Amino acid sequence: MTRVVSAKKVVIVGAGPAGIAAADALRAQGHTGEILIFGEERHMPYDRPPLSKQILAGTWLPEKAELRTGELLADADVTLRLCTRVASADVAAHQLTLQSGEQIAYDALIIATGVTARELPFGHHLDGVHVMRTLDDALTLQADLETAQRLAVIGAGFLGAEVAAVARSLGKEVTLIDPLELPMQNVVGDEIGSMIAELHRHHGVKLELGHGVSSIEEGMGQATGVTLDDGRTVSADAILVAVGARPAVDWLRSSSVPLTASNEPGAGGVRCDASGCATDDVWAIGDVAAWWDPTQERHVRVEHRQTANEHALSCVRDILELTPTSAKSVPYFWSDQYDLKLRSFGFPSRDSGFHVVEGNLEDHRFVAAYTDESGRIVGTIGSGMFKAMNWWRLQILDRRPLGDALRDRQITKRSVE
């Protein structure tokens, strides 16, 4: 791959958290050239985690989720073009073509287009059927919930579980549907999945787990319910489809930018090296990027907010040919459901070993560790014990065997008691 020695014009496609973090990092690391950001949406750049929480609940106005105002971007000499779609990229010519036909040259290109919501093969033309990825999605569902009384949530992952919790707090009847036997099961495993299922039952959510969806019922163009794979119908006047997301890379398919296959690690994302470089003078960051992880010896695509910030700094230092960042990091996510505030580091998985190492699940005050086949810690999850979580995070970085970490943790705790 060729690298620009001093990128005069950096173009960022994607005005979400990753794109804004890249612009910030460019200026912070001393780049004085042109920075141009393209965003498809009409809103100023905003943060996404609040969409399924504070924005949907109505406790935040949309402006509170804004990442930057126009004035701040202007002060940083960053040009932002909203409502603009990039149609294609010509890597050899260092040129983008917009949907309007306009052509844009670049010296360095940062792809930060994120992901788009997956849809079912039916029902999305009906009133009352929603996805949740953008601010407009959240505001549309919020408006629908002002009159709707029964919400069906298809998909019991992070997003579906969070929206179910918010809807219950608004007094709605909620049914949570998923083909898996437990909420968030593939990511957090059976033990945490069981805890989350019980939490939702306690708050009055009806769980239809272990069931797929065969159709969405309608009447006069309005969704009226969901038919499960066993023939039963769940009545609903609002439906959220939360069945995952896919990288927003369609505009790259005619280019030479490498993409990972759908059946390999980092599925469907932009294939990058360990610094985010995909091909000549092209980098990718955030949800859309599948970075090479030397510790796991595979490409990894992580849809977590903190990863976008870390990608941005590493990528920018690579673009500017600065010394790579030396700080180790691990993926981090959080999920707020009712009074439960889950925090996780690393790579928790249903297929990993699961061990409660501090506290207990019943009190929702605990830390649990996930281990690989060799007994080394690959992830943690916890609630209500944030100082302890930070200690266990370091064990992931060092790939500590669980037994060694438990022994050292007892020594650490005794030293402060």
Mean pLDDT per 10-residue section of the chain, whose length is 417 residues: 65 97 96 97 96 96 95 97 98 97 98 97 97 97 97 97 98 98 96 98 98 97 97 97 96 96 82 95 96 87 89 94 74 93 94 96 96 96 94 92 94 61
Residue carrying the six token digits 């489809």: 241
Q: Give me the pLDDT at residue 417, please.
A: 47
- The number of angstroms, rounded, from the C-alpha of 16 to the middle of its chain's C-alpha atoms is 12
Q: Give me the pLDDT at residue 317, please.
A: 94
Q: Give me the pLDDT at residue 6, please.
A: 57
pTM over 0.85: yes
Report the distance separating Cα 223 and Cα 235, nearest Å. Answer: 9
Amino acid at 380: T
Residue of 319, 309, 334 whose CA lies nearest to 18: 309
Helix (H, G, I), strand (E, B), or coil: what is residue 354?
Answer: strand
Report the distance separating Cα 315 and Cα 17, nearest Å. Answer: 14
- Going through 301-408 in order, the beta strands assigned E by DSSP cover 332-337, 340-346, 353-360, 365-371, 377-383
Residue carrying the six token digits 């955030």: 286
Q: Give me the pLDDT at residue 267, please.
A: 82
Q: Give me the pLDDT at residue 263, please.
A: 77
Residue of 213, 188, 212 whose CA lies nearest to 337: 188
Q: Give me the pLDDT at residue 328, please.
A: 63
Phi, psi torsion values for 152, nearest 5 degrees: -105, 125
Question: b/e for 209-220, b at 16 or more Cβ within 10 A?
Answer: bebebeebbbee
How many CB atoms are closer than 10 A to CB 103? Answer: 12
Q: Give me the pLDDT at residue 5, please.
A: 43
Report the distance separating Cα 380 and Cα 332, nearest Å. Answer: 10
Helix (H, G, I), strand (E, B), or coil: what is residue 367?
Answer: strand
